[in-house]
Structure 1
């Protein structure tokens, strides 16, 4: 009972896992860009604030 169902759902599960892996990699990439941009903007704002103070 388990083996034919698993072999029947295997390609769909593999395709779903493939799309889930692509979605997860894109999410991690966007999250890394967001963290880098937040750090860069914070450093740039501190730098401009120091320049404005001088």
Structure 2
């Protein structure tokens, strides 16, 4: 019986670990999206400046 009961806590630990990683990944993705949204106009301006200067053909 002890062998059959041992996988249950391991499954719970796996679920907790997965939930922790999912929350970390979602937080990271939201941070990246906010960074891209805030830096997109700046990047577009720099790209237009380089493109208009003739460095990029």
Bigger relative CO (Cα 8 Å, ≥ 6 apart): 2
Question: Matched residue pairs, number?
Answer: 44
Q: 1:12 Cα deviation (Å)? A: 1.9
TM score, norm. by length of structure 1: 0.70
The runs of at least 4 aligned residues of structure 1 exceeding 6 Å deviation read none
TM score, norm. by length of structure 2: 0.67
1:42 matched to 2:42? The reply is no
In the aligned structure 1, how far is the partner of 2:26 from the partner of 2:19?
10
> Which residue matches 1:29?
20
**RMSD between aligned alpha carbons?**
1.5
If each structure's helix is expressed as a fraction of its own residues, which one has the higher value? 1
In the aligned structure 2, how far is the partner of 1:46 from the partner of 1:25?
31
User: Can you give the 5+ residue segments of structure 2 that lack an aligned partner in the other structure?
Assistant: 46-57
Q: Could you give the per-residue CA deviations for residues 3-38 of structure 1, whole angstroms, max 9, x where no partner exists? A: xxxxxx3x2232100110111100000000011001
